[in-house]
Amino acid sequence: MDLPRTLRTVVPPRDPKGQREGFTTGACAAAAAKAAVRLLLRGEGSSEIESTLPNGQRHTFVLERCERTDDVAVCSIVKDAGDDPDCTHGAEIVAEVSLRAEPGIELRGGEGVARVTKPGLGLEVGGPAINPVPRRNITAMVLEELAGSAFRGAVVTIRVPGGEELAKQTINARLGLLGGISILGTTGIVKPYSTAAYKASVVQAIDVARERGQTILVLTTGGKSEAYAMKLYPELAEEAFVQVGDFVGVGVKHCARRGAERAVVVGMIGKLSKMADGRTMTHAAGSEVNMELLAGIARDLGAGEPVVSEIRAANTARHVMEIAAREGITQLCSSICERVVFHLGEHVGGALDIHAVLVDFNGAVLGRYPSPAPTEAS
Protein backbone atom coordinates (compact mmCIF):
# COMPACT_ATOMS: atom_id res chain seq x y z
CA MET A 1 0.00 0.00 0.00
CA ASP A 2 1.38 3.39 -1.05
CA LEU A 3 0.87 5.62 1.98
CA PRO A 4 1.05 9.43 2.01
CA ARG A 5 4.49 10.67 2.98
CA THR A 6 6.11 13.95 3.85
CA LEU A 7 6.48 15.84 0.59
CA ARG A 8 9.31 18.15 -0.41
CA THR A 9 7.20 20.11 -2.87
CA VAL A 10 5.13 22.80 -1.23
CA VAL A 11 2.22 24.15 -3.25
CA PRO A 12 1.03 27.70 -2.58
CA PRO A 13 -1.92 27.98 -0.19
CA ARG A 14 -5.28 28.61 -1.82
CA ASP A 15 -6.89 32.00 -1.65
CA PRO A 16 -10.69 31.47 -1.46
CA LYS A 17 -11.18 34.76 -3.31
CA GLY A 18 -8.23 34.31 -5.65
CA GLN A 19 -8.10 33.59 -9.36
CA ARG A 20 -4.83 31.64 -9.63
CA GLU A 21 -5.14 28.77 -12.08
CA GLY A 22 -3.81 25.29 -11.40
CA PHE A 23 -3.44 21.93 -13.10
CA THR A 24 -5.65 18.86 -13.32
CA THR A 25 -4.85 15.41 -11.98
CA GLY A 26 -4.74 14.21 -15.59
CA ALA A 27 -2.11 16.77 -16.58
CA CYS A 28 0.01 15.86 -13.56
CA ALA A 29 -0.29 12.14 -14.33
CA ALA A 30 0.74 12.67 -17.97
CA ALA A 31 3.79 14.71 -17.00
CA ALA A 32 4.83 12.20 -14.33
CA ALA A 33 4.52 9.34 -16.82
CA LYS A 34 6.59 11.27 -19.37
CA ALA A 35 9.30 11.86 -16.78
CA ALA A 36 9.36 8.16 -15.82
CA VAL A 37 9.81 7.09 -19.45
CA ARG A 38 12.63 9.60 -19.90
CA LEU A 39 14.38 8.26 -16.79
CA LEU A 40 14.18 4.69 -18.11
CA LEU A 41 15.53 5.66 -21.53
CA ARG A 42 18.24 8.09 -20.48
CA GLY A 43 19.18 6.70 -17.10
CA GLU A 44 19.40 10.15 -15.56
CA GLY A 45 16.99 11.65 -13.09
CA SER A 46 15.66 15.18 -13.28
CA SER A 47 14.03 17.76 -11.03
CA GLU A 48 11.46 18.88 -13.61
CA ILE A 49 9.70 17.84 -16.81
CA GLU A 50 8.09 19.83 -19.61
CA SER A 51 4.80 18.35 -20.79
CA THR A 52 2.07 19.24 -23.27
CA LEU A 53 -1.35 19.84 -21.75
CA PRO A 54 -4.52 18.61 -23.50
CA ASN A 55 -5.22 22.20 -24.62
CA GLY A 56 -1.86 22.27 -26.44
CA GLN A 57 -0.03 24.49 -23.96
CA ARG A 58 3.38 23.47 -22.65
CA HIS A 59 4.17 23.58 -18.94
CA THR A 60 7.17 22.61 -16.86
CA PHE A 61 6.24 20.61 -13.76
CA VAL A 62 8.47 20.19 -10.70
CA LEU A 63 9.06 16.51 -9.93
CA GLU A 64 8.53 15.32 -6.37
CA ARG A 65 9.97 11.87 -7.11
CA CYS A 66 12.24 10.65 -9.89
CA GLU A 67 13.42 7.16 -8.95
CA ARG A 68 14.40 3.96 -10.75
CA THR A 69 14.61 0.36 -9.56
CA ASP A 70 15.82 -2.07 -12.22
CA ASP A 71 13.33 -1.77 -15.12
CA VAL A 72 10.73 0.30 -13.30
CA ALA A 73 10.73 4.07 -12.90
CA VAL A 74 8.58 6.03 -10.47
CA CYS A 75 8.04 9.75 -10.90
CA SER A 76 5.52 12.01 -9.23
CA ILE A 77 4.15 15.54 -9.18
CA VAL A 78 2.40 17.30 -6.31
CA LYS A 79 -0.80 18.75 -7.72
CA ASP A 80 -1.28 22.50 -7.54
CA ALA A 81 -4.98 23.25 -8.10
CA GLY A 82 -4.45 27.00 -7.90
CA ASP A 83 -7.17 28.76 -5.94
CA ASP A 84 -9.82 26.19 -6.83
CA PRO A 85 -11.38 24.45 -3.78
CA ASP A 86 -10.23 21.06 -5.04
CA CYS A 87 -9.74 18.27 -2.51
CA THR A 88 -6.75 16.98 -4.52
CA HIS A 89 -4.79 20.23 -4.07
CA GLY A 90 -1.44 19.11 -2.66
CA ALA A 91 -1.98 15.44 -3.52
CA GLU A 92 0.93 13.44 -4.96
CA ILE A 93 0.17 12.04 -8.41
CA VAL A 94 2.48 9.10 -9.06
CA ALA A 95 3.29 7.34 -12.34
CA GLU A 96 5.05 3.96 -12.26
CA VAL A 97 6.30 2.91 -15.70
CA SER A 98 7.90 -0.13 -17.27
CA LEU A 99 8.73 -0.36 -20.97
CA ARG A 100 8.10 -3.18 -23.41
CA ALA A 101 8.93 -4.03 -27.00
CA GLU A 102 5.37 -4.71 -28.17
CA PRO A 103 3.36 -1.63 -29.18
CA GLY A 104 0.63 -0.11 -27.05
CA ILE A 105 0.32 1.89 -23.85
CA GLU A 106 -1.47 0.00 -21.09
CA LEU A 107 -2.92 2.22 -18.36
CA ARG A 108 -3.57 0.81 -14.91
CA GLY A 109 -4.91 2.29 -11.72
CA GLY A 110 -3.02 1.70 -8.51
CA GLU A 111 -3.58 2.64 -4.88
CA GLY A 112 -5.77 5.71 -4.49
CA VAL A 113 -7.22 5.67 -8.02
CA ALA A 114 -10.88 4.70 -8.18
CA ARG A 115 -12.16 1.57 -9.87
CA VAL A 116 -15.25 1.88 -12.10
CA THR A 117 -18.15 -0.29 -10.89
CA LYS A 118 -21.15 1.26 -12.68
CA PRO A 119 -21.89 2.02 -16.34
CA GLY A 120 -22.70 5.46 -17.66
CA LEU A 121 -19.33 7.14 -17.22
CA GLY A 122 -17.84 6.39 -20.60
CA LEU A 123 -15.28 4.14 -18.91
CA GLU A 124 -14.89 0.37 -18.84
CA VAL A 125 -16.55 -1.20 -15.80
CA GLY A 126 -13.83 -2.83 -13.73
CA GLY A 127 -11.14 -0.52 -15.07
CA PRO A 128 -9.44 2.49 -13.49
CA ALA A 129 -11.22 5.84 -13.30
CA ILE A 130 -8.88 7.59 -15.69
CA ASN A 131 -11.05 9.73 -17.94
CA PRO A 132 -10.72 9.73 -21.75
CA VAL A 133 -8.84 13.03 -22.15
CA PRO A 134 -6.22 12.19 -19.48
CA ARG A 135 -5.85 8.74 -21.07
CA ARG A 136 -5.04 10.34 -24.41
CA ASN A 137 -2.72 12.87 -22.80
CA ILE A 138 -0.80 10.21 -20.83
CA THR A 139 -0.51 8.03 -23.93
CA ALA A 140 0.68 10.93 -26.08
CA MET A 141 3.35 12.01 -23.58
CA VAL A 142 4.67 8.45 -23.21
CA LEU A 143 4.81 7.96 -26.99
CA GLU A 144 6.56 11.32 -27.37
CA GLU A 145 9.39 10.06 -25.18
CA LEU A 146 9.47 6.62 -26.84
CA ALA A 147 9.87 8.07 -30.34
CA GLY A 148 13.13 6.83 -31.87
CA SER A 149 13.82 4.30 -29.10
CA ALA A 150 13.85 0.51 -29.27
CA PHE A 151 10.69 0.36 -27.17
CA ARG A 152 7.22 0.67 -28.66
CA GLY A 153 5.02 0.29 -25.62
CA ALA A 154 4.74 0.73 -21.89
CA VAL A 155 2.73 -0.19 -18.82
CA VAL A 156 1.78 2.92 -16.86
CA THR A 157 0.27 2.64 -13.39
CA ILE A 158 -1.12 5.81 -11.85
CA ARG A 159 -1.29 6.02 -8.05
CA VAL A 160 -2.46 8.69 -5.63
CA PRO A 161 -1.23 8.10 -2.06
CA GLY A 162 -4.13 8.85 0.26
CA GLY A 163 -6.56 8.97 -2.65
CA GLU A 164 -9.11 6.71 -0.99
CA GLU A 165 -9.39 9.14 1.92
CA LEU A 166 -9.58 12.15 -0.43
CA ALA A 167 -12.43 10.49 -2.32
CA LYS A 168 -14.65 10.77 0.76
CA GLN A 169 -14.89 14.48 -0.05
CA THR A 170 -16.33 13.70 -3.50
CA ILE A 171 -19.43 11.98 -4.90
CA ASN A 172 -17.32 9.20 -6.40
CA ALA A 173 -18.88 6.41 -4.32
CA ARG A 174 -22.36 7.35 -5.46
CA LEU A 175 -21.21 7.22 -9.07
CA GLY A 176 -19.78 3.76 -8.52
CA LEU A 177 -16.17 4.96 -8.43
CA LEU A 178 -14.68 3.06 -5.51
CA GLY A 179 -11.32 3.02 -3.80
CA GLY A 180 -9.99 6.44 -4.65
CA ILE A 181 -10.21 9.56 -6.77
CA SER A 182 -10.70 9.92 -10.50
CA ILE A 183 -7.99 11.15 -12.86
CA LEU A 184 -9.74 14.04 -14.56
CA GLY A 185 -9.32 17.06 -16.78
CA THR A 186 -10.31 18.18 -20.25
CA THR A 187 -7.86 21.06 -20.81
CA GLY A 188 -5.20 20.35 -18.21
CA ILE A 189 -5.95 23.66 -16.51
CA VAL A 190 -8.00 24.09 -13.34
CA LYS A 191 -9.79 27.41 -13.21
CA PRO A 192 -10.80 28.69 -9.77
CA TYR A 193 -14.29 27.54 -8.81
CA SER A 194 -14.44 25.85 -12.16
CA THR A 195 -17.96 26.03 -13.50
CA ALA A 196 -17.01 23.67 -16.30
CA ALA A 197 -15.90 21.03 -13.79
CA TYR A 198 -19.09 21.32 -11.75
CA LYS A 199 -21.31 21.19 -14.84
CA ALA A 200 -19.44 18.08 -15.92
CA SER A 201 -20.07 16.43 -12.54
CA VAL A 202 -23.80 17.18 -12.80
CA VAL A 203 -23.97 15.67 -16.28
CA GLN A 204 -21.97 12.64 -15.14
CA ALA A 205 -24.23 12.02 -12.15
CA ILE A 206 -27.35 12.16 -14.34
CA ASP A 207 -25.75 9.80 -16.86
CA VAL A 208 -25.06 7.25 -14.14
CA ALA A 209 -28.58 7.52 -12.74
CA ARG A 210 -30.12 6.94 -16.16
CA GLU A 211 -27.78 4.05 -16.94
CA ARG A 212 -28.91 2.50 -13.66
CA GLY A 213 -32.55 2.78 -14.73
CA GLN A 214 -33.61 5.77 -12.66
CA THR A 215 -36.45 7.57 -14.45
CA ILE A 216 -37.26 10.06 -11.67
CA LEU A 217 -34.34 12.26 -10.68
CA VAL A 218 -34.26 14.61 -7.71
CA LEU A 219 -32.17 17.72 -8.32
CA THR A 220 -31.03 19.49 -5.18
CA THR A 221 -29.18 22.73 -4.61
CA GLY A 222 -26.79 21.47 -1.95
CA GLY A 223 -25.97 18.92 0.71
CA LYS A 224 -28.66 19.96 3.19
CA SER A 225 -31.44 20.04 0.62
CA GLU A 226 -30.31 16.65 -0.67
CA ALA A 227 -30.43 15.15 2.83
CA TYR A 228 -33.96 16.50 3.25
CA ALA A 229 -34.96 15.27 -0.21
CA MET A 230 -33.77 11.76 0.59
CA LYS A 231 -36.13 11.71 3.56
CA LEU A 232 -38.98 12.95 1.36
CA TYR A 233 -38.40 10.24 -1.27
CA PRO A 234 -37.01 7.20 0.59
CA GLU A 235 -38.24 4.88 -2.16
CA LEU A 236 -35.69 6.28 -4.63
CA ALA A 237 -32.15 4.92 -4.95
CA GLU A 238 -29.28 7.12 -3.80
CA GLU A 239 -28.07 7.65 -7.35
CA ALA A 240 -31.41 9.28 -8.26
CA PHE A 241 -30.37 12.30 -6.18
CA VAL A 242 -28.13 14.80 -7.96
CA GLN A 243 -26.64 17.89 -6.36
CA VAL A 244 -26.87 20.44 -9.17
CA GLY A 245 -25.75 23.34 -6.99
CA ASP A 246 -26.30 26.55 -8.92
CA PHE A 247 -26.67 24.72 -12.25
CA VAL A 248 -30.33 23.73 -12.18
CA GLY A 249 -30.67 24.69 -15.85
CA VAL A 250 -27.89 22.29 -16.81
CA GLY A 251 -29.54 19.62 -14.67
CA VAL A 252 -33.04 19.79 -16.12
CA LYS A 253 -31.75 20.05 -19.69
CA HIS A 254 -29.60 16.96 -19.30
CA CYS A 255 -32.44 15.08 -17.62
CA ALA A 256 -34.55 15.85 -20.68
CA ARG A 257 -31.73 14.96 -23.04
CA ARG A 258 -31.28 11.57 -21.35
CA GLY A 259 -35.00 10.79 -21.48
CA ALA A 260 -35.84 10.99 -17.79
CA GLU A 261 -39.56 11.00 -17.02
CA ARG A 262 -39.48 13.54 -14.22
CA ALA A 263 -37.15 15.91 -12.40
CA VAL A 264 -38.06 16.99 -8.88
CA VAL A 265 -36.26 20.17 -7.83
CA VAL A 266 -35.82 20.43 -4.05
CA GLY A 267 -34.34 23.49 -2.40
CA MET A 268 -34.72 26.32 0.05
CA ILE A 269 -36.29 29.69 -0.53
CA GLY A 270 -33.18 31.58 -1.63
CA LYS A 271 -32.35 29.37 -4.60
CA LEU A 272 -35.95 28.63 -5.54
CA SER A 273 -36.83 32.33 -5.49
CA LYS A 274 -34.14 32.91 -8.10
CA MET A 275 -35.50 30.04 -10.21
CA ALA A 276 -38.99 31.53 -9.85
CA ASP A 277 -37.56 34.66 -11.45
CA GLY A 278 -36.44 32.65 -14.47
CA ARG A 279 -32.81 32.21 -13.41
CA THR A 280 -31.33 28.86 -14.37
CA MET A 281 -27.93 29.70 -12.85
CA THR A 282 -28.41 30.74 -9.23
CA HIS A 283 -24.93 31.67 -7.95
CA ALA A 284 -25.01 34.71 -5.68
CA ALA A 285 -22.59 36.58 -7.93
CA GLY A 286 -24.76 35.98 -10.96
CA SER A 287 -28.26 36.64 -9.67
CA GLU A 288 -29.87 38.32 -6.68
CA VAL A 289 -33.27 37.49 -5.24
CA ASN A 290 -35.92 39.66 -6.90
CA MET A 291 -37.79 41.13 -3.95
CA GLU A 292 -40.20 42.88 -6.30
CA LEU A 293 -41.24 39.49 -7.66
CA LEU A 294 -41.85 38.11 -4.16
CA ALA A 295 -43.76 41.24 -3.18
CA GLY A 296 -45.95 40.81 -6.28
CA ILE A 297 -46.66 37.19 -5.41
CA ALA A 298 -47.68 38.23 -1.91
CA ARG A 299 -49.97 40.90 -3.33
CA ASP A 300 -51.59 38.34 -5.65
CA LEU A 301 -52.22 36.18 -2.59
CA GLY A 302 -54.08 38.99 -0.84
CA ALA A 303 -51.39 40.70 1.22
CA GLY A 304 -52.03 44.34 2.06
CA GLU A 305 -49.77 47.12 0.79
CA PRO A 306 -47.91 47.57 4.10
CA VAL A 307 -46.89 43.90 4.01
CA VAL A 308 -46.09 44.11 0.30
CA SER A 309 -43.82 47.09 1.00
CA GLU A 310 -42.16 45.22 3.87
CA ILE A 311 -41.42 42.26 1.61
CA ARG A 312 -40.09 44.56 -1.08
CA ALA A 313 -37.62 45.98 1.46
CA ALA A 314 -36.71 42.60 2.99
CA ASN A 315 -33.04 41.74 3.48
CA THR A 316 -33.14 38.17 2.19
CA ALA A 317 -35.51 35.57 0.80
CA ARG A 318 -35.46 33.93 4.23
CA HIS A 319 -36.66 37.24 5.69
CA VAL A 320 -39.54 37.19 3.19
CA MET A 321 -40.47 33.70 4.36
CA GLU A 322 -40.55 34.92 7.96
CA ILE A 323 -42.81 37.83 7.03
CA ALA A 324 -45.14 35.50 5.12
CA ALA A 325 -45.33 33.12 8.09
CA ARG A 326 -46.10 35.97 10.43
CA GLU A 327 -48.85 37.28 8.16
CA GLY A 328 -50.35 33.89 7.40
CA ILE A 329 -49.55 34.01 3.66
CA THR A 330 -49.50 30.24 3.52
CA GLN A 331 -49.44 29.82 -0.27
CA LEU A 332 -46.34 31.96 -0.92
CA CYS A 333 -43.95 29.01 -1.10
CA SER A 334 -46.24 26.91 -3.31
CA SER A 335 -46.64 29.91 -5.63
CA ILE A 336 -42.86 30.20 -5.84
CA CYS A 337 -42.70 26.48 -6.72
CA GLU A 338 -45.33 26.97 -9.43
CA ARG A 339 -43.19 29.66 -11.04
CA VAL A 340 -40.11 27.45 -10.77
CA VAL A 341 -41.91 24.69 -12.66
CA PHE A 342 -43.10 27.14 -15.30
CA HIS A 343 -39.67 28.65 -16.01
CA LEU A 344 -37.75 25.37 -15.93
CA GLY A 345 -40.42 23.82 -18.15
CA GLU A 346 -39.85 26.61 -20.65
CA HIS A 347 -36.09 26.05 -20.36
CA VAL A 348 -36.46 22.45 -21.57
CA GLY A 349 -39.21 23.22 -24.07
CA GLY A 350 -41.75 21.11 -22.22
CA ALA A 351 -39.69 17.95 -22.74
CA LEU A 352 -39.66 16.98 -19.06
CA ASP A 353 -42.19 16.63 -16.25
CA ILE A 354 -40.88 19.01 -13.59
CA HIS A 355 -41.93 19.25 -9.95
CA ALA A 356 -40.65 21.67 -7.31
CA VAL A 357 -40.53 21.33 -3.53
CA LEU A 358 -39.51 24.15 -1.18
CA VAL A 359 -38.22 23.09 2.24
CA ASP A 360 -37.25 25.12 5.26
CA PHE A 361 -33.91 25.01 7.04
CA ASN A 362 -35.01 22.01 9.07
CA GLY A 363 -36.32 20.04 6.11
CA ALA A 364 -40.04 20.68 6.56
CA VAL A 365 -41.98 21.10 3.31
CA LEU A 366 -43.30 24.68 3.01
CA GLY A 367 -44.58 24.49 -0.53
CA ARG A 368 -44.71 22.30 -3.60
CA TYR A 369 -46.05 22.26 -7.11
CA PRO A 370 -47.98 20.41 -8.46
CA SER A 371 -49.94 20.32 -5.23
CA PRO A 372 -50.87 17.89 -3.96
CA ALA A 373 -47.91 16.21 -5.63
CA PRO A 374 -48.52 12.82 -7.26
CA THR A 375 -46.61 9.97 -5.70
CA GLU A 376 -43.22 9.49 -7.29
CA ALA A 377 -44.27 6.08 -8.57
CA SER A 378 -47.26 7.42 -10.45
The 10s digit of each residue's pLDDT in 335-356 is: 999 999 999 999 999 999 999 9
- Omega before residue 370 within 30° of 0, cis: yes
Q: Quick one: 166 and 210 in the same domain? A: no
Q: Quick one: 227 and 330 in the same domain? A: yes
Helix axes 269-276, 291-300, angle to 10 degrees: 80
The pLDDT-based confidence of 1 (bands split at 50, 70, 90) is very low
Domain count, the chain: 2
Number of H helices, E strands in the chain: 11, 18
Domain containing residue 54: CATH number: 3.30.2110.10
pLDDT tens string 86-136: 889 999 999 999 999 999 999 999 999 999 998 777 889 999 999 999 999
* Rounded-to-10 torsion of CA 287, 248, 317, 233: -170
The pLDDT-based confidence of 363 (bands split at 50, 70, 90) is very high
Give the model's pLDDT for residue 193. Answer: 65
**Domain end among 128, 158, 190:** 190
Q: Quick one: 305 and 178 in the same domain? A: no
Q: Quick one: 247 and 361 in the same domain? A: yes
pLDDT tens string 186-198: 889 987 766 777 7
Q: Quick one: 174 and 321 in the same domain? A: no
Asked whether the beta carbons of 355 and 216 are under 8 A apart, the reply is no
The pLDDT-based confidence of 286 (bands split at 50, 70, 90) is very low
Q: Which one has a higher pLDDT value, 20 or 127?
A: 127
Residue 264 vs residues 204, 220, 248, 309: alpha-carbon distances, Å:
18, 8, 11, 32
Q: Quick one: 214 and 128 in the same domain? A: no
pLDDT tens string 251-268: 999 999 999 999 999 999
Q: Quick one: 88 and 139 in the same domain? A: yes
Q: What is the mean pLDDT of residues 264-291?
A: 84
Average pLDDT in the chain: 91
Residue 376 in any domain: the answer is no
Q: Which domain holds residue 168?
A: 22-190
Residue 374 has pLDDT above 50, yes or no: no
Residue 253 in any domain: the answer is yes
Q: Quick one: 114 and 221 in the same domain? A: no
Percent pLDDT > 90 in the chain is: 75
Q: Quick one: 342 and 207 in the same domain? A: yes
Residue 225 has pLDDT above 50, yes or no: yes
Q: What is the mean pLDDT of residues 137-164?
A: 97
Asked whether the beta carbons of 136 and 87 are under 8 A apart, the reply is no
Give the model's pLDDT for residue 284. Answer: 53
